[in-house]
Amino acid sequence: MKKPSKSKTKINKKAVYIALALILLASAIFAYFLYYKRPAAHNTDYYCQTDNDCTIKPAGCCGFPSCVNKDFSVDLNEWKKEHCTQKDIEICMLADHLPIEGCKCVENKCRPYFKGEKSAN
Q: What is the pLDDT of residues 17-38, one digit of tens each?
A: 888 888 877 777 766 665 554 4
Judgement on whether residues 33 and 46 belong to the same structural domain of the protein:
no
Judgement on whether residues 33 and 45 belong to the same structural domain of the protein:
no
Instruction: Answer yes or no: is pLDDT of 40 > 50.
Output: no
> For residue range 61-106, what is the model confidence (pLDDT) as tens digits?
777 888 999 998 878 888 778 778 877 777 777 666 677 889 999 9
Judgement on whether residues 112 and 79 belong to the same structural domain of the protein:
yes
Judgement on whether residues 53 and 30 belong to the same structural domain of the protein:
no
Phi then psi for residue 106, to 5 deg, are: -125, 115
Q: Count of residues for the chain?
A: 121
Q: How confident is the model at residue 41 (pLDDT cuts 50, 70, 90)?
A: very low
Entry pTM: 0.54
- Segments forming the whole domain that contains residue 16: 1-37
